[in-house]
Amino acid sequence: MILYDYILSPDCYKIRLLAALTGQRLTLQAVDYHPGGEHRSAAFRMLNPAGTIPVLQDGALILTESAAILTYVAAMSGPDWLGEDSPQMRGQVAQWLAFAHRLSASIGKARSHDMLQQPADINACRRAGVACLQELESALTEQRLMGFGYLAGARPTLADIACFPHAMLAPDGGISTDPYPAIRLWTRSLRALPGFIEMPGIHRLHELKPEPIGTAGQD
């Protein structure tokens, strides 16, 4: 499998992370997204007419949406990450994969504005990003009250991988994660998984702040 990749892209990172956690070997093809704008080149648009990353190529198959790529990699090398084969679980995972697009459109856009000088209505992006984090915090708090540590149950699934990078990188777009203890506990759990890999801005349990006090449902 070839992953057309940009090291600072949260959507590319989530593919690399899932591959690492499942033992799936990827061949990384670096794309000069910034400042080179390689994703807008004629050669790259022959691969993906939308000019977006990530792109996964596996033989004749080309996938250009991160949710589809995550699903494919999980089906190939880590089916447990799809969640149990029940309508409820599959619906929950699909819902969080869709929610991840809202994270990208808000937090991700704010981060691109601040780090890569890309145009955006930064105040609107930050407001939308805060609303997404509040929704994520509420869902994780409810999960913890039921004794679950992850978005779709007792073990991590694609739901967590899809949402994790943008939540972790929110401060790069001027959006603090300090008010969200359930999110911080959740990200610590993911960063402690065997096989976890880092990206710039997301390190293994590197925070200097003390671990948040657990909410109900946590030992």
Residue 211 has pLDDT above 80, yes or no: no
The pLDDT value recorded for residue 203 is 83
d(C-alpha 39, C-alpha 49), whole Å: 10
Residue 57 has pLDDT above 90, yes or no: yes
Beta pairing class for 61-63 and 55-58: antiparallel
Neighbours of 67 (CB within 10 A): 19
For residue 12 the two structure tokens come to 């590319």
d(C-alpha 154, C-alpha 191), whole Å: 16
pTM across the whole model: 0.92
What's the structural domain count of the chain?
A: 2
Task: Specify whether 44 is located in the same domain as 139.
Answer: no
**What residue type is assigned to position 113 of the chain?**
H
Identify whether 111 is part of a domain: yes
DSSP bridge partners of 171: none
Identify whether 205 is part of a domain: no
Task: Specify whether 96 is located in the same domain as 14.
Answer: no
Q: Which of 112, 129, 94 has the alpha carbon at shortest distance from 6? A: 112
CATH number at residue 21: 3.40.30.10
d(C-alpha 142, C-alpha 136), whole Å: 10
d(C-alpha 97, C-alpha 40), whole Å: 26
Task: Specify whether 87 is located in the same domain as 173.
Answer: yes
The pLDDT value recorded for residue 93 is 97
Domain of residue 115: give its range.
82-191
Task: Specify whether 87 is located in the same domain as 66.
Answer: no
Residue 19 has pLDDT above 70, yes or no: yes
Q: List pLDDT tens digits, range 123-141.
A: 999 999 999 999 999 999 9
Task: Specify whether 70 is located in the same domain as 91.
Answer: no
Identify whether 54 is part of a domain: yes
